Structure formats: structure tokens, C-alpha cells
A and B are shown apart, each in its own frame.
Chain A
Amino acid sequence: MISQLRSAAAAGCAALLLASGCGSGDTGGGAAVPADASPALRTLIEAAQKEGELVWYSVPAENIAKAVSDDFAGKYGIKVKFIRLTSSDLAQRFAAEAESGKPAADLFVGSYTPFVPQALEKGWTVKLADANIPDYPAGFPDTYLLPDAGTAVIQIQPTGIAVNTRQGGGAIKDWPDILDPKWKGKIILVDPRTSAAYTPFWNLIVKEYGEEYLTRLKAQNPIVAAGAAPATQQLAAGEAAIVMPGVQSIADGLKSKGAPVGYVQPPASTGPEIVPGLAAKAAHPNAARLFVHYLMSKEGNKKLNALPGSGSPLDPATLPARYTFNKDLSGTPAERINALLGLT
């Protein structure tokens, strides 16, 4: 018995060693330095290529993260690895790893939440402005720069409404339409208690329509869903006609597979604002800086914001008509929002 178990354990350990040995990603082919690069950029590229690898944590969806990773790897010949996380998981993980003194990620690209300035304050990240990134801030308009938090908004994901087109959801055009009594019991409310990233959105609704909107929404008997992903799947199945707040990338993903799902972008909106954070003790600090340079360049930023549902700071036409920044939306704390919506 024990000898059998022992040999099984030995075989297992051998397999374990094998498994930990693999797991490398793609390396881009061309490793050339672009001819038009400035001397500072040239130095950074060479230093980054010497490091040869980049690890980052992404809040933007997996297909977007993969597209920019592949493009960057191909352009500079640097191997790129990433994982996709929700913004609260990212904060937990990045904080714990930074505190242990061995951050696994060279940088994160995540939602701007109170975590971002705190990470800077604790010395886990460095300010982009102090990181010797060539050309920084790369022609970004001032409204997108957050100098106190040491970062800049490189992507905006405006929040909207996902609708089931077979249930007449196509009639919805703006936030107040949801309060029409005919939608009673047909609204899926994405639980605002699951992430602080929803707080600015509900502040926008309060700012635009008053707290009354939330009490009237509560009276509509919404179905509470655990997240935007299950909510939109329920919508596709016909459990309800409306998801509020809806995420365009998820709705578009289902629509492309033939689901009766549409997305509506009301003019007044806010949403997750995506910022990079450079790890102070990164294993590949130069690759991380070069990646930020890339994400803020015309070409990289366009790639990052190639799909509908994300707005680029370099192309204001991609944003809703009345977009309000998160930093201008506070005043109603999360507890108050939950209470008004009837959630404890």
C-alpha cells in the first residue's frame, strides 16, 4: 500500500516539475528598434529587450488584452504574459504581492479606484511622470491625467443599458425609460455591492435624476444579479428585458453568437476608467515602461480601444455625448445607494 502511494507521489512530483517548467508565452519575431525612435526611446527599447519579458494584469477584456499583448510582442520582440482579473481581485492580488516584496506583475492596467492612489502612497507603484517614459504624457489632454495619483486614463468603458431585443427592449433609449411601469419585474440590476467600481455610476444617476430614481427603480422589483456576466446571460435567455448597468463588450460578445441582445448608450454616462500602474519592484521595469509608452502611443491606444464599448482619450468622438469623469462623481456613499435600492 504505502509503496504504491510512494511511487505515485514520486511520479506526481516528476510531473509537477515538468509542468512548472513549461508555461511560456509567445515571443514576437522582429526585435528591431524602429528607425524613427528618439534616442531616449531607443535606450528604453534596448533595455526592455534585454529584459526580454513582460508580465501584466489586465482589467480590459481578455480579447483586448491579448490583442495588445500580441501586437507589443511582435513590435518589440518581448515575450508578454498577462492574466485578466476583475478590478477588486486585481487590487487584492497586487497589494498582497507588492507587500510580500515580490510583485508578479510588472504593471497593472486596471480601473481607477481608491486602490490606485493608495498603492502609490504605500510605495508599491511609481508615478508615470517620474518613470522616465519617453514623450510622456504623449499628447494626452489634461482631463485624462491624474498627476496626484501618478497615472493617466488610457481607456474609458462607458456604462450603458443591455436589452433583450425580443422582449421589446429596443424601445429603451435613455435611463429614465427604464422607470416605465411596463418594465416592472423585467429589469436585471447588477448588484452594486459586488464592486466599488459601480459607485461612480450610481452617483451619476443620482446627479442626473436625483435619489428618487433609485427608489423608483426599487419599486420596479428588479432581479438582482451577481455580476454583469451572469446578468447578460440571463438577459439573452429572456429572463428579463433590461440589464442596468450594462457592459457593451459582454453584450456584443453574446450578440455575435446570435443572442437577441442589444446595447444602448444613453448620452449621460460614466464608467470604469482604466489606468496603468507601474510596479515599484518590477522584475522587468523597462519592459513595463515601454508597454506604457506603447499603450499611450497613437497606435497602441487605438489597438487598446479598437472594439466598441471603449473610448480613447486620443479620440473624443468615441465617448458618449455627456461623459462625466469618476473623479467628479462622489457625494452619495455606497451604503446610501444600497439602501435606496433596497439592498442591505
Chain B
Amino acid sequence: MIARLRALTPFQVAGTLLALALGALAVYPLALVVIRPFVTGGRIDLAPIRDTLAQPDLATLLWHTAVVVGGSGLAAMAIGSALAWVNERTDARMGLLTDVVPLVPFLLPPIAGAIGWSLLGSERSGYLNQLLRPLLGLGGTQGPIDVHSWYGLIFVYTIYQVPYVFMIVSAGLRNADAAMEEQSRVSGAGPFRTLRRVSLPAVRPSLGAAALLMVWTGFGLFSIPAILAPQAGIDILSVRVVRLLSFTYPPETGVAVSLNLVVMLVVTLVWYAQTRLLRSSRTAGLGGKGARARPLRLGRWRGPVRAAIVAYLALTSVLPLGGLVLVSLTGFWSGTVDWSRLNLDAVTRTLADTATQEALVNSLVLGAVCATAGMLAAAVVSVLVRRSGRGTGMLVDAAIKFPPTLSHLVVAVGFVLAFSGAPFQLGGTLWILMLAYVSLHMPQATTASDAAAGQVGPELTDASRVSGAGQARTFRRITLPLMAPGLLAGWALLFVTIAGDISASAILAGTGNEVVGFRILEVFANGDYAMLGAISILLTLATSLVVLPITWYARRRGASPLSRTHF
């Protein structure tokens, strides 16, 4: 034991402490909320489980949720991977445009996206329906689109899921040796065979990571089903959980947590499968020989593929943003757009609002700081967990990844109980938001970094160590630069979701630490769609100013990760 302890390097000690701290940060606040309902008078009480099983239409609830999360997850895997492949491997890519297309809809916070789509796709007065009816020669006052429907809900979910797949699979493809694909093609294999036999196995870790995130974020999305699902009669778990927590006081935390256990179970299964996948697929990793292969020529398909990408951008980004711009200029959601009455009143009101200015600055700073801290920590943890034995490593990984599968409302209340009062006294500060944001986004961060770490072949790190470099130095000089494309992709995702966070901010933000997500909620409750549109557009502009250069930089770096390390 002592011999083993002595063998630990400072890097391992620091990394382990970091991982443990992250685990504690996730588990401790949660324990304060979650354990209470299950303990009555010092005894374990399983009444909440019984109450959960007695929930009205439990089977319907689970079935509806499974269809929406599963359907959108599969669709997003297909669309996101296809976009990534086209962008990384073919001559249909259009520079920065194809790099960021799938990301743009993601820049709109989900609550704004959901409202944008209900503005567009409501049966009678959706802007899109008003446009399509005369265009397609349809009579009547309804249709042809209804966003308050199964397909509508799955569609909007999919838009918010595609970026995760795209970012992670792109990073994976960028790191995987394209030369092998070229060799396969040269050896006479068709594109489909090459895809199946060479490309897909090479990005398997990335696909696994993406699938895990699909499940994790799919169950977690709240604003979208809260706004779109009731009207369609669709029952979604995240909405039911928030209802149980906030309908009346005291909240039905026990039942809410028990319902969330279902989510945890599904996430566990996918997580286990992904861990197996990561351990079994070292061979597909990034080798020591870096050569950039020429992109696949699509020939006469190039035009249609490009058109499809542009159509996707228009459909998923331009349209909802346009809907919000229109509502912001009209002042309210109008069934008939009177172009002469458009005005900038809502925009000026928003720009002049000091609470909004302050919120915007806080959110952007928190987004940048938390994404940086979160990704660096995740990188260290990923590398250590992969190196360590199964037991402890898995346990720490689970402690970090699992608590955020619970409703963020529960987690946020836990953070108030844990850190607001003595001894930490962080209530009402940006620090409590920072802790919560980092902790809540660790699953995204570690999933992205796991995939990035999974692709760094052992030859390079071994070579570094054999040459006499310590573990910390190897991490800094070899592993981190090689993981950079994947980590930067993760950073961008984290930055965007944190800057627009609504769920944890609803409880943790306040007069002293206003953030954009909270401001959006305030404006939403006031019924002011015009200002909500204006704030969302401002936020989208601000986050894209950060994310676009990062994506561009990651792309440039990722193009030749090895040329800079001089192998």
C-alpha cells in the first residue's frame, strides 16, 4: 500500500484530488436534498417510490418521454454524423460556414428556440404557416405545419441535439487517420465499404460519447417540452418533475427524485456501454504518423449536398431567429404582419435596461470562466480515469457524471442549502453560480474529453515518458495538445449552454448576480415576447462572436495536430 502511495507522482495526486473535489461538489449538495424525503424519523422510508408508482399515467409518461428522447436522439446521431463527415472528409465543405452551421441553432437558448418555433409553426397564426398556405395554394386557416405535435416536438429536440453529435464526431474524424480511408479507397473499396470498415470504427469512441450525451441532454431538456408539449397532450418527464417540485409547497421531492431514477438507469446503461467501447477501441486511435489525406470528391453530388447543408442552416437557424426578430419588431406576436408598424422599441428598451446589460456581461464571463475551468478539469480527470484501475476510476467518473441527471431544479436547491449560508456564505454571488454551472456541466465536459483522450494513442505518451518527461510534462506537452480539438469543441458547447443557462439560474441568480437566463425568465413571466426576442438575439450575437473564432481556431489546429509537436 505504502509502496503504491510512494509510486504516485505529484500529477496523479493533484489529479486525484481534483477528481475527488469534483465528485464531492456534485454529490454533496444533492445529498442534502435527495436523502431527506427517503428518511422519516431516522428510518429509511420508501413511501416516495410507492407514490411514484401511483403517479397518474406513469406508463404513458415514460412512453411519451422515451419516444421523444429516443426519436430525436437517433435523428440527431444521423444528421450530426452526416454533417460532420461531409465537413471533414469531402469537398462539399464550405469553410467556416460548414464548421458552424450545426452550432448556430444551439446559440439560441432553448426557451427562445421553443418560442421561436411556436411563433413559426403554430397551426393558425404561425409565421411559416401564413407564408406556406398561399404559397402552396392551400385554403383554410390552419396548417400545413403544427409544431405542437409529436413530429414538431421531436424536430425541435433534434435541432438542440445535433450540435453535440456534430462537434464530437467532427473532432473524432479530425483526429482519426484519414490516410487509412484513402488507402482503403485506393485498394478498391467503395465509399460505403470504406465508411463501414474504416471510418466508422475509427470514430466509435466519439459516436459512443455522442450517444451518451443524447440521452443525458435529451432527458434534461425542459424549456422546449414545457412550452411545446402540453398543447399536443404529450407528457414529458422533465416537465412532470418540475411540476412535482414547484406546484405547491412543500415540494414532492421524493417522487420527483424517484422519477429521475428512471433517467439515471437509462444513462447508466448507455454510460456502461460507452465505457466498454472506449476500452475496446484503442486501435483506432491517433497514431504517430500524421498525414493529411485529400478530401473525397463528391462529383455531381457536391452541389446537392451543399444545397442540403444550406437548407439545414436556413431551417434550423435563420427561421427561428427570424421569428424572434419579427416578434421583437412588432412588439407582440401578431397574426398579420403589418410591415409599416415595425419599430425598434423593444430593442432600445432592452439595450437601455441596466439589469439586462449586467446580466449579459455576467453570463458571458461566467460562460468563459466555467467552460475553461470545466474543460481543463475534465481533461485531467479523463486521462487519470482511463489510466486508473476499474473500481475507483469508475466510481469517481460516476460521481461526477450522475448527479446532473437529476432535475437541475433539485441540484440548484441543493447548492443553496450547501453553499449559501455558513460556512461558505456564497449566496447571491457569482461564485455559487460558477460552482453550480461547472458541476452541472461536467457530464458534457467529461464526455467530450473522454472521447478526446480515447483517441490519443499510447505510443506518443509512452515515447514521451521513455524520453524522460514526467507525467505532468507529458500531459501538458503531448496529451493536452493532441486532445485540443476535442477539448475546444467541448469548450464551445459548455460556453454556450452556460451563458444561456436557465435551469440552475432560476434558483441561484438574483439581485447581486443577475444572469441572462434569469432575465429571460423574468421577461417571459411578464409576457413580453418582444423583449424576450431582443435579449435572445443579443445573447446569440454575443455568444457567436466568441464561438466562431474558437471553432475556426480549433479547426486550424485540428487540421494538423502533429505538425506542431514535431514528430
Residues of A within 8 A of B409 (CB): 92
Q: A102-B422, A236-B334, A238-B125 are in contact. Are A92 and B246 (CB under 8 A)?
A: yes
B250 touches A20 (CB 8 A): no
Q: Which of B482-535 contact A (CB under 8 A)?
A: 484, 506-507, 510-514, 518, 521-522, 524-530
- Least CB distance from B525 to A in Å reads 5
Closest to B368 in A: A12
Between A and B, 5 residue pairs with Cβ closer than 8 Å are: A92-B413, A100-B427, A230-B527, A247-B527, A250-B526
- Least CB distance from B550 to A in Å reads 11
Give Cα A25 to B333, complex, Å.
32
Give Cα A187 to B408, complex, Å.
33
Closest to B230 in A: A224
Instruction: Contacts A20-B513, A113-B249, A237-B333 known; list 8 others, CB within 8 Å.
Output: A88-B247, A100-B421, A101-B422, A102-B425, A102-B427, A104-B510, A195-B247, A226-B226
Give Cα A139 to B123, complex, Å.
52
> 4 closest A-B pairs (Cβ-Cβ)?
A238-B335, A229-B527, A115-B249, A100-B421
Give Cα A319 to B251, complex, Å.
32
- Least CB distance from A28 to B in Å reads 16
Q: Which of A1-41 contact B (CB under 8 A)?
A: 1-2, 5, 8-9, 12-13, 15-16, 19-20, 22-23, 25
The yes or no answer to B122 lying at the interface (CB within 8 A) is yes
Binds A, one of B155-163, B208-216, B267-275, B357-365: B357-365
Pick from A16, A104, A225: contact of B365, CB below 8 A.
Answer: A16
Pick from B247, B332, B336: contact of A257, CB below 8 A.
Answer: B332
Q: On chain B, which size bracket covers the interface?
A: 35 or more
B420 touches A100 (CB 8 A): yes
Binds B, one of A78-86, A210-218, A301-309: A78-86
The yes or no answer to A326 lying at the interface (CB within 8 A) is no
Pick from B248, B333, B419, B427: contact of A196, CB below 8 A.
Answer: B248
Pick from B246, B331, B425: contact of A89, CB below 8 A.
Answer: B246
Closest to B56 in A: A344
The yes or no answer to A315 lying at the interface (CB within 8 A) is no
The yes or no answer to A318 lying at the interface (CB within 8 A) is no
The yes or no answer to B540 lying at the interface (CB within 8 A) is no
Q: How many residue pairs at the A-B interface have CB separations less than 8 Å? A: 199
Pick from B251, B334, B369, B484: contact of A16, CB below 8 A.
Answer: B369
The yes or no answer to B480 lying at the interface (CB within 8 A) is yes
Say what secondary structure dominates the interface of chain A. helix
The yes or no answer to A99 lying at the interface (CB within 8 A) is yes
Say what secondary structure dominates the interface of chain B. helix
Residues of B within 8 A of A93 (CB): 416, 507
A23 touches B417 (CB 8 A): no
A258 touches B416 (CB 8 A): no
A8 touches B331 (CB 8 A): no
A254 touches B125 (CB 8 A): no
Closest to A26 in B: B354
- Least CB distance from A236 to B in Å reads 5
Q: On chain A, which size bracket covers the interface?
A: 35 or more
Closest to A102 in B: B421
Give Cα A334 to B244, complex, Å.
13
The yes or no answer to A193 lying at the interface (CB within 8 A) is yes
A114 touches B511 (CB 8 A): no
- Least CB distance from B381 to A in Å reads 16
The yes or no answer to B310 lying at the interface (CB within 8 A) is no
Residues of A within 8 A of B366 (CB): 16
Closest to B354 in A: A25
The yes or no answer to A70 lying at the interface (CB within 8 A) is no
Closest to A253 in B: B527
Q: A84-B522, A96-B420, A102-B420 are in contact. Are A230 and B227 (CB under 8 A)?
A: yes
Give Cα A62 to B420, complex, Å.
26
B231 touches A224 (CB 8 A): yes
A96 touches B417 (CB 8 A): yes
Closest to A88 in B: B246
Give Cα A232 to B525, complex, Å.
11
The yes or no answer to B302 lying at the interface (CB within 8 A) is no
B230 touches A237 (CB 8 A): no
A229 touches B368 (CB 8 A): no
Residues of A within 8 A of B331 (CB): 257-259
The yes or no answer to B235 lying at the interface (CB within 8 A) is yes
Residues of A within 8 A of B361 (CB): 19
The yes or no answer to A234 lying at the interface (CB within 8 A) is yes
Give Cα A25 to B355, complex, Å.
9
B230, B332, B341, B429 — most chain A CB neighbours (10 Å):
B332
Closest to B419 in A: A100
Q: Mark B223-263, 1 if CB is under 8 A from A, else 0.
A: 00011001101010000000101111111000000000000
